[in-house]
Amino acid sequence: MSIEELARANVRALTPYQSARRLGGNGDVWLNANEYPTAVEFELTQQTLNRYPECQPKLVIERYAEYAGVKPEQVLVSRGADEGIELLIRAFCEPGKDAVLYCPPTYGMYSVSSEAFNVECRTVPTLENWQLDLSGIAEQIEGVKVIYVCSPNNPTGQLINPQDFRVLLEMARGKALVVADEAYIEFCPQATLTGWLEEYPHLVVLRTLSKAFALAGLRCGFTIAAEEVINLLMKVIAPYPLSTPVADIAAQALSPQGINAMRERVAEVLLIRQYLIAGLRETACVEQVFDSETNYVLARITASSAVFKSLWDRGIILRDQNKQPSLSGCLRITVGTRTECERALTALRQQPGLTATEAV
């Protein structure tokens, strides 16, 4: 047997997640991964690298619990929110029997993680306004153990109606976990569902330090849920999911000063987002700009593939969402620095608009 044939069938069939990093590009303006545009500096304070780290570093857990307004027993820290997505599947879904459900267009890792574990992936596309198709979900919920709902949603940028979340939570009670992926919640903090955890023991909230906290390279995320859910996830997590330097920096980012600095960054991003949206609305090749509660903006663009390529060739890297259901012609643009947004707008304004017949 070839090495290829030795591998599990579902792994052979797998397409790995097309992360912004994997897609490459030779840019100097990176607006494709919803990162914070400049680096925040930290110094390491722990020099005990001869020792294994704590599985769940106490200070990080305590600080995150305080920040999120929950009990430390309700918090799990992991290697990014992506590991949280995976741990839920590992702890709750029987391969070949149970299913995961999500509603495209949305974040790509829900399907990648399910497929890696040979867990069926059920999709119920959103309604035209990108809200949940609740009756469609009701028809598909049999055998589903985990439902992922991203809010605000990546890549569309809008919040899921809280009333729809309530209906979904009632529908799933006793059957499935409802996972609210709040990776971008710092850009609209009033919309968090953490206040509902008491009422719904099957609600799980995912968070990350990768976006508003400007630490995508750190790989640190959080799962917030009932203690019972956290205890089950603790059974399947690696013994040392976070290295000592990661825990050290995460604790600093979650100190009162760290949280203040994050809030200042968010305020700045929101101002630049306003500038970017206003600019896009006055750009010929831009047909539609969607409202955003996040640090990125989705726009429908005339001849979007040619525009994407043209900006790529000039070192301005956006994220093409054209392949997602209901997102034909859509590009996602991260809110970068003001200068980066200016460069993107300038390049977009050199593209032909609706009236032009030829691409540049």
Ligand X SMILES: *Cc1c(COP(=O)(O)O)cnc(C)c1O
Interface positions with ligand X (CB under 6 A): 34, 80-82, 107, 150, 154, 181, 183, 208, 210, 216, 221
Residue 118 C-beta: closest distance to ligand X, Å: 22
Looking up tokens 């525009």, which residue turns up?
A: 307
- CA 227: distance to chain centroid? 23
Residue 350 C-beta: closest distance to ligand X, Å: 30
Residue 92 CA: distances (Å) to CA of 98, 258, 285, 332, 338: 8, 34, 46, 32, 44
Please check whether residue 151 is in contact with residue 144, taking contact to mean a CB–CB distance below 8 angstroms: no
Q: β-strands 203-208, 177-181: how paired?
A: parallel
- Cβ closest to ligand X, residue 25 vs residue 352: 25
Q: Which residues of 326-348 are buried (b: 16+ CB within 10 A; e: fewer)?
A: ebebbbbbbbbbeebbbbbbebb
Residue 185 C-beta: closest distance to ligand X, Å: 10
CA 69, 75, 78, 80 torsion-angle sign = negative
- Cβ closest to ligand X, residue 183 vs residue 225: 183
Q: Which residues of 189-212 are buried (b: 16+ CB within 10 A; e: fewer)?
A: eebbbbebbeebebbbbbbbbbbb
Residue 177 C-beta: closest distance to ligand X, Å: 16
Residue 219 C-beta: closest distance to ligand X, Å: 7
Please check whether residue 107 is in contact with residue 181, taking contact to mean a CB–CB distance below 8 angstroms: yes
Q: Looking at the DSSP assignment, which residues form a beta bridge with residue 289?
A: 299
Radius of gyration for the chain, computed over Cα atoms and rounded to the nearest angstrom: 21
Residue 51 C-beta: closest distance to ligand X, Å: 25
Shortest Cβ contact with ligand X: which residue? 80
